[in-house]
Structure 1
Amino acid sequence: MQFAMAESVVSFGMHQLSAWFCEEQELLGSIRINTDNIRDEIGRMRAFLMMAEEREDIHPQLREWAKQVRDIAYDAEAVMDKFMLGFAYEHSDRNCGCLGRIYVSVKNLRCRRQFASEVRDLQSRLKSISEGHHRYRDIHSAASQRTSSSGFADGTWYDGRGDALLLEEAEVVGFEKPKRQLIEWLCSSYNYGLRVISVVGTGGLGKTTLARKVYDDAVVKMHFHSHVWMTVSHSFNLEEFLRKLIRKLVGEINQPRPEGLDAMDADEMKEFIYQFLQRRTYVIVLDDVWRLNAWEAIRYAFPRTGAYGFVIITTRFHSIGHGASIECNGHVYNLEPLSQEESKTLFCRKAFLGGSCPTYLEDAAAIVLKKCEGLPLAIVVIGSLLATKNNSIEEWNKFDRSLGDELEGDHLRRMTKLLSLSYYNLPHYLKPCFLYFSIFPENFRIYKSKLIRLWVAEGFIHPKEGKTMEEVAEDHVKELLDRSLIQVAETTNYGRPIRVRVHDLLRMIVLTKSKEQNFVTIESGGETRWPNKSRRVAIHCSTGNTEDIKGCDQLRSLLVLDSVHALSKRNLSKLLCAGSSPLKVLELKGALSDKIPDHVFRLRLLKYLGLKNTVVKTIPKSIAKLRNLETLDLRCTKVTELPIEILKLRRLRHLLLYSNKKSRGYRPFDDVQSFQAPYKIGCLSALQNLSDIEATQAGEDTSIVREIGELTEMRSLGIKKLKKEDGKDLCSSLAKLTNLRSLYVASTAEDEIIDMQYPVYPTPPLETLELRGRLRELPEWLPALHGLTRLYLRWSRMKHDPLNSLQDLPYLMEFELSHAYEGDRLCFRASGFQRLKKLWLLSLNRLRLVIVEKGCMPLLQELYMSGCRSLEEVPSGIQHLGSLQHMDFSDMAEGFVTKIESQREGGDKWNLKSMRKWM
């Protein structure tokens, strides 16, 4: 367990050290560092650790070795930071005499000697550890051969999946519906050819159990000639797999093995399987597929035409399941956790031997079930363990308090291994990203965009050609979701994840690994044991007592995640002073008074500063000292102006300023906060997010809207107080923002016209657009935004029906008209708005008639109408909206609700799951 994180620490810490030495060699003057030797040492250690991390049986000497490696990696990063602080910041700008300044700094003999001494010490420690490598290799080889006590067999880690196959039918709860569905797919199709059914879900959900119940079903046995169960696993060997499959196929019908089977190559064996199955109906289960290339290597062994056959794949990877099934016109079954009722039934069956839960244990049982989150394996294993506690409330409470330790104990070790398999299988670059979830409290749902910014600031993300760091990090989020290690907690209407979380039991495992690796120190209101070297501190619940803070001289991250119990100035200053120099991430959400502590501006390596939901009013000029800052989060603060010194932050990527963004459409026009930005903001060329600044004229020849055109990396932009004469410059700037995904524009006053009738070519790849202000007509380039998914037109007061221009937008899923149309008739024409899911018609005071033609908005799920006081009847043709699930009417004309009720009583049927009527 130690090796998994140790390997990633080496990968990120030591790899950075070596690469950094190469980059900064010219700054070291006469200091000679043999970086090749360092890289060689790192390579040997990484090779060993990558092999050792797959082994669970850890020798004490190996554990100590891993600890030493980890400590060196941490200390190496500290040496790097010390150099940056001691030398690199003695010059103010690399372009203004920087080499001369650095040369003078490095000439300081005492500093040079100290730095050289620390580097030599690192090299010495690396050499000492490397010399012991052959001893550990011997120990590792010996450990691989042990099978009885360690849980290994032939070098393969026993994961306990086979236990699922031993479950009796009576023990399985909640599998009736998925079993029926899979059997229906298997037996109701009469099309010849290959079909793939994928059962996808996280470890412990019962994929193997479900597949076995289907495979053993009598109806399935009768329906197919050949039945083969094959376990694939992550230790996949193509030749061995094909050989075993052939033996099972011919053995089932007592046919002799083909001559020379052991000498056949993979292509010959695939040809034999193909010809054998060509004459038969078959169902083959491929259990526990871990890699897409495993399926790709064997898929052509199964006949695509002629034969009638099914392959059932169980996998934790959504990409594998969907890819295989879509390719073969099959089906994907996403196995869901048990419902609350099913979970309780299964739990009582195991914990109380089929009886009911005693009243005095109901609260304790509810806590356990909440942690299990519908995971059948966890419920069965934990329930069986609790059955030995003799229904003692004291023993149950003790178990709950020590669940993290219990997961490492003998009773729950098999379940822990199963859940940990996905973690051990992670590539090295994903391990610290997943381990980062140990920082957040239980049931914490973190915004994906924030998580990405934190990962980048922590240094977990390495650049890839053609992608920004954020795009690489988003790929990492997708990988963790694909591997079922994290879950989507909230999505947009078009399915894009907004927030993510980790399953409670997986979080327990992550916490254990985090503790082993000294990844984070958590202050949660109780007694906190501060390790000798705290790398990260997360405050979940502040007690105001920080007297025991120690060992923070290497602190890299401080995250205050409790906005209720704000830290006092004294305690915050103490934390910052304890680990001031190397701090890179500082999240103080809701934990500050109206002033940023002066000590923050001494954190010269700081990359992330989060001040959201604080009452900070001003940003001081000393912000210029934070030259490495990449994210400045000022959302929902009192800040209304940015100092010109912020222009010195040339690495700034995310400048987040907006407040109450979600409620823009329901507030008075001028009740939206904006911010004054320096007029030369175009020099911040790395900016990707900028919201919401004022489009105020900065000078005779310079304006903010012109400057925006220099921000070519911009992804999300919000600009307010736009005047009519700014429209031409804004359109010109938009044509340069070829990466822009989200745009919010608001005029300076309710009657001020937004004049955007100027060409924008090429049009940016906008996905979200909000125009807030008067429009004489829609911009001509708007219908060309073919990637647009969300469009909000507010206070537009257009005279002409805008729907004709917008109905063909191919991906539009959310559309709002608020104070936007002064006509009396809207017609949603047939074949228009084919992907729209949410529609708002708000404060359209003159609207008398809404027509919905058949074939329009076939996917619309939610309709909201408010303030349409001239509308006296429900939209004509609403019965055509077959997907409509929710309608909400408020502030409508007198008698509107009465007409609705009379229409429904008169026999009009609407396919609605819910309808609210507010008057």
Structure 2
Amino acid sequence: MDDNIVGLVGDTKELVKVLTNESGCRVVTIWGMGGLGKTTLAKKIYHHRQVIDYFDHSAFVYVSQPCQKRKVWEDILSGFKTLNDEDRKKRDEDLAERLCNILEIKKCLVILDDIWTGEAWDSLKPAFPVARDRHSNSKILLTSRNKGIVSYADIRELRCLSEPESWELFQKIVFPQTGKIIGVEMKELGENMVKHYAGLPLAIVVLGGILATKNNSLNEWQKISDNVKSYLKKGKNQRPEDVLALSYDDLPPYLRPCFLYLSHFPEDYMIDVDRLIQLWGAEGIVSSKQEEREGGEIVEDVAESYLMELVERCMIQVRERDVATSKVKTIQMHDLMRDLCLSKAKQENFIFIVDRSNSSSLSMIQKVRRVSVHEFFFIQCIKSPNTRSLLFFNEFFPNEALEKYLPLEVLNYVEEHAKVWNPLFLILMISIVGTALLKSQGIWRYMFNNFKLLRVLNYEERTGDNLAAFKLPSDIGNLIHLRFLSLKDLEFLWKKLPSSLGNLRCLQTLDLRVANYKIHVPNVIWRMEQLRHLYLPDICKKKTKLKLGTLRKLLTLVNFNTKNCYMKDLINMTNLRELVINGPFNIENFNEKTLGENPSIIGSKYLHSLFILFSSINPRHLVHLLSSSLSICKLSITTARISKLPEYHYFSSHLAYIRLENCQLEEDPMPTLEKLTNLRILEFEETFRVNEMFCSAQGFSRLESLSLERLHNLEEWKVDE
């Protein structure tokens, strides 16, 4: 949180000057111990207006341990907004050369956060002109705990906070409204505690987060002060950051499993809050405080309040907020806090993590309840029928695994001749793909037949290779206790999902956004009456027709359209909060003459987000849809050809955010939109064909942000005084 940054003004000013100086050093390193604020300073520089204006492209990339060079290079290109599908297929050498060429020609800033070793930098060097003695217009900023990563870098050491700065930061965290301590005794206690932390910002922030929950109680402050002293007496080599354990010990019982669950995610992982809350609910870590009823508190609301408690305690870092509601969208963990989380999770046998430290030497894993897979391993190593959750964060069956089945010489030949199409190469490719499909099919079947108590099965595809199997085995119907199933980004050669999915009656979250262009979904989802979050494929086959009217608990419905679903089912979803329409949207038996006589489409009074994508929608059908959505605060319409917007009174009065992209409007939308009294954020991209736009003096009473992008036809913008 920028409001809570202390002591970095001088460092920021100096580094911005170095980076925007043509003759300045091409590589700069911010060096210091963990928790000093290296990432915070780098972020501040990355978002600095002078830096944004100076560079053509910029990218901020987290470097995990161990360093994955290809992922780093792809993340840089993605940050430049130049990564495409062809790049994902390139060999490492070609990808490095492409990035190197961009860095030579363009003026770019690359920030590599948290490089641990010189070996990591050596692996990344082929993509950087400055490391290859080639001319470069670009600059590189590294953060590291190791001073000597790059010998020719301009090294800037980040210092600890002074006592006044430490005290200022502490007060900002504990009293965010006033920034000032209350009472002489509290001040004395606070100052004594802060001194123990030796100017380490992370430790001070976490301590402040603990005390911020104590309601200004002097007795509670005294207890924390005593605990701080006892922690520091535990060992001669005790470091200030070791007292982070105090933040865990101070957690109430209901928050501890929520915090420990974060150990599932890899280092530097950007955690999607919606997905995290769904996982918490599926595992029973969070439950509703009262019996659900209309207007009552639901699991997702309770989970969100728990998440905010962890944020307020400074145990997790907010990375992104919703533009309309300011709700937290993504979070991340500081390395030191993640180390604490992993340590506590291991102590309590909360989870087994498969990573590079153990993926190649796993013995049979016994008595495992939760498994998080960061590196490929053979799932047959798990012999525990009581396994409750499996989360994958890697390729399902990567090429490295094929080395166990095919000679290395064969794989090397394929790598070298990938661009030469001949009969021998074709036979080899068929052999390799066939082997991969056969083995991955075996992995699926082993899971479905040996982990019948499974509650969570989640796959997060992190690379470009997403082939999963020939088909999804019908054995999946054995997992009758499953609460959460995500097949997102997986690809199956057999483009039909099994009807045995209908056996999964306990599912709360189902994500079917597979990578296939078109896939058939059998009409069995109506049997999953506990569903709360449903993500349908982006494109279903024509024969797919789903009845969803029984899903009365549904909160999220993504990729709904009237070709594959029934319009009338929306009226039964009385708890729906988010609706994404993707594809055709046509209302049957629609009364064109008298709009008011048409029955309501949306049955939920809680719908707050409506997204319309790639849709062919009749303008009058759009009017009726909007007039049925009286609670929405977010509206996005993308690639939906509509000649004109409905009159302003058809829009929800709660709308705070509107995005219109590639809508081909033939009339100026401003006279309509400026009448929306709560609209704060408005975004246009290739929105209208008109060449004139007009805004009146009385319009947009609360607008805070206006984004205009690629409005090629716009010639004149008239604004009243």
Counterpart in the other structure of 1:447: 272
Counterpart in the other structure of 2:499: 621
> In the alignment, is residue 576 of structure 1 matched against residue 443 of structure 2?
no
Structure 2 counterpart of 1:230, which letter?
A: E
Of 575, 578, 590, the residue aligned with 1:716 is 578
Counterpart in the other structure of 1:435: 260
Offset at 1:535?
0.4
Offset at 1:649?
1.1
Deviations 1:648-682 (A, max 9, x none): 111111111355xxxxxxxxxxxx77987645311
CA distance in 1, matches of 2:311, 2:469: 38
User: Could you tell which deviates more after superposition, 810-819 or 455-464?
Assistant: 810-819
Q: In 2 relative to 1, CA 570–687 (structure 1 residues): closer, same or farther, beyond 3 Å?
A: same
Q: In 2 relative to 1, CA 177–288 (structure 1 residues): closer, same or farther, beyond 3 Å?
A: closer
Of 441, 446, 456, the residue aligned with 2:281 is 456
> In the alignment, is residue 634 of structure 1 matched against residue 512 of structure 2?
yes
Counting only pairs closer than 5 Å after superposition, residues 581-620 of structure 1 correspond to structure 2 as: 581-590=452-461, 592-616=468-492, 617-620=495-498
CA distance in 2, matches of 1:463, 1:226: 41
Deviations 1:809-832 (A, max 9, x none): 344344233454333211233464
Q: In 2 relative to 1, CA 607–817 (structure 1 residues): closer, same or farther, beyond 3 Å?
A: same
Offset at 1:606?
0.6
Counterpart in the other structure of 2:392: 560
CA distance in 2, matches of 1:446, 1:473: 15
Secondary structure of the corresponding residue to residue 498 of structure 1? strand
Counterpart in the other structure of 1:835: 703
Count residues in correspondence: 480
Structure 2 counterpart of 1:680, which letter?
A: K
Secondary structure of the corresponding residue to residue 583 of structure 1? coil
Q: In 2 relative to 1, CA 468–780 (structure 1 residues): closer, same or farther, beyond 3 Å?
A: farther
Offset at 1:706?
1.9
Offset at 1:696?
2.9
Given that 1:658 and 1:674 are in contact with CA atoms closer than 8 Å, whether structure 2 keeps it comes out as: no
Counterpart in the other structure of 1:541: 375
Counting only pairs closer than 5 Å after superposition, residues 586-735 of structure 1 correspond to structure 2 as: 586-590=457-461, 592-616=468-492, 617-638=495-516, 639-657=518-536, 659=538, 678-696=545-563, 704-719=566-581, 720-723=583-586, 732-735=599-602
Given that 1:776 and 1:798 are in contact with CA atoms closer than 8 Å, whether structure 2 keeps it comes out as: yes
TM-align CA RMSD: 4.4
CA distance in 2, matches of 1:723, 1:565: 41
CA distance in 1, matches of 2:519, 2:251: 44
Counting only pairs closer than 5 Å after superposition, residues 387-402 of structure 1 correspond to structure 2 as: none
> In the alignment, is residue 851 of structure 1 matched against residue 714 of structure 2?
no
Bigger helix share? 1
Secondary structure of the corresponding residue to residue 289 of structure 2? coil
Given that 1:754 and 1:773 are in contact with CA atoms closer than 8 Å, whether structure 2 keeps it comes out as: no
Counting only pairs closer than 5 Å after superposition, residues 735-884 of structure 1 correspond to structure 2 as: 735-745=602-612, 749=616, 753=619, 755-758=621-624, 763-771=629-637, 772-780=639-647, 784-830=651-697, 832-833=699-700, 834-843=702-711, 845=713, 847-852=714-719
Given that 2:174 and 2:211 are in contact with CA atoms closer than 8 Å, whether structure 1 keeps it comes out as: no
Given that 2:609 and 2:635 are in contact with CA atoms closer than 8 Å, whether structure 1 keeps it comes out as: yes
Offset at 1:500?
1.0
Offset at 1:455?
0.6
> In the alignment, is residue 511 of structure 1 matched against residue 337 of structure 2?
no
Counting only pairs closer than 5 Å after superposition, residues 96-111 of structure 1 correspond to structure 2 as: none
Offset at 1:546?
4.8
Structure 2 counterpart of 1:601, which letter?
A: G
Secondary structure of the corresponding residue to residue 472 of structure 1? helix
Structure 2 counterpart of 1:786, which letter?
A: S
Offset at 1:741?
1.6
Deviations 1:360-387 (A, max 9, x none): xxxxxxxxxxxxxxxxx9xxx9xxxxxx
Offset at 1:440?
1.3
Given that 1:289 and 1:315 are in contact with CA atoms closer than 8 Å, whether structure 2 keeps it comes out as: no
Counterpart in the other structure of 1:477: 307
Given that 1:694 and 1:721 are in contact with CA atoms closer than 8 Å, whether structure 2 keeps it comes out as: yes
Counterpart in the other structure of 2:33: none
CA distance in 2, matches of 1:781, 1:806: 7
Structure 2 counterpart of 1:608, which letter?
A: F
Secondary structure of the corresponding residue to residue 623 of structure 2? coil
CA distance in 2, matches of 1:523, 1:507: 16
Given that 2:540 and 2:564 are in contact with CA atoms closer than 8 Å, whether structure 1 keeps it comes out as: no
CA distance in 1, matches of 2:484, 2:502: 14
Counting only pairs closer than 5 Å after superposition, residues 111-260 of structure 1 correspond to structure 2 as: 173=159, 175=161, 179=165, 198-200=171-173, 229-231=187-189
User: Could you tell which deviates more after superposition, 407-416 or 432-441?
Assistant: 407-416
Secondary structure of the corresponding residue to residue 482 of structure 2? coil
Counterpart in the other structure of 1:490: 320
TM-score (normalizing by structure 2): 0.58
Secondary structure of the corresponding residue to residue 200 of structure 1? helix
Secondary structure of the corresponding residue to residue 773 of structure 1? coil
Offset at 1:725?
5.7
Given that 2:627 and 2:650 are in contact with CA atoms closer than 8 Å, whether structure 1 keeps it comes out as: no
Given that 1:722 and 1:746 are in contact with CA atoms closer than 8 Å, whether structure 2 keeps it comes out as: no
TM-score (normalizing by structure 1): 0.46
Deviations 1:342-374 (A, max 9, x none): xxxxxxxxxxxxxxxxxxxxxxxxxxxxxxxxx
Offset at 1:605?
0.3
Offset at 1:177?
12
Counterpart in the other structure of 2:107: none
Given that 1:631 and 1:655 are in contact with CA atoms closer than 8 Å, whether structure 2 keeps it comes out as: yes
Q: In 2 relative to 1, CA 840–419 (structure 1 residues): closer, same or farther, beyond 3 Å?
A: same
Offset at 1:499?
1.3
Counterpart in the other structure of 1:468: 298
CA distance in 2, matches of 1:467, 1:514: 29
Counterpart in the other structure of 1:391: none
CA distance in 2, matches of 1:683, 1:781: 34
Offset at 1:547?
5.7
CA distance in 1, matches of 2:209, 2:632: 38
Secondary structure of the corresponding residue to residue 612 of structure 1? coil
Q: In 2 relative to 1, CA 658–805 (structure 1 residues): closer, same or farther, beyond 3 Å?
A: farther
Given that 1:447 and 1:500 are in contact with CA atoms closer than 8 Å, whether structure 2 keeps it comes out as: yes
CA distance in 1, matches of 2:350, 2:476: 23
Q: In 2 relative to 1, CA 697–463 (structure 1 residues): closer, same or farther, beyond 3 Å?
A: closer
Deviations 1:16-58 (A, max 9, x none): xxxxxxxxxxxxxxxxxxxxxxxxxxxxxxxxxxxxxxxxxxx
CA distance in 2, matches of 1:715, 1:733: 16
Structure having the higher Rg:
1
CA distance in 1, matches of 2:668, 2:327: 31
Given that 1:737 and 1:764 are in contact with CA atoms closer than 8 Å, whether structure 2 keeps it comes out as: no
Q: In 2 relative to 1, CA 797–673 (structure 1 residues): closer, same or farther, beyond 3 Å?
A: farther
CA distance in 1, matches of 2:649, 2:272: 30
In structure 2, runs of 5+ residues without a counterpart are 1-156, 194-206, 291-295, 402-438
CA distance in 2, matches of 1:613, 1:804: 41
Given that 2:657 and 2:682 are in contact with CA atoms closer than 8 Å, whether structure 1 keeps it comes out as: yes
Counterpart in the other structure of 1:335: none
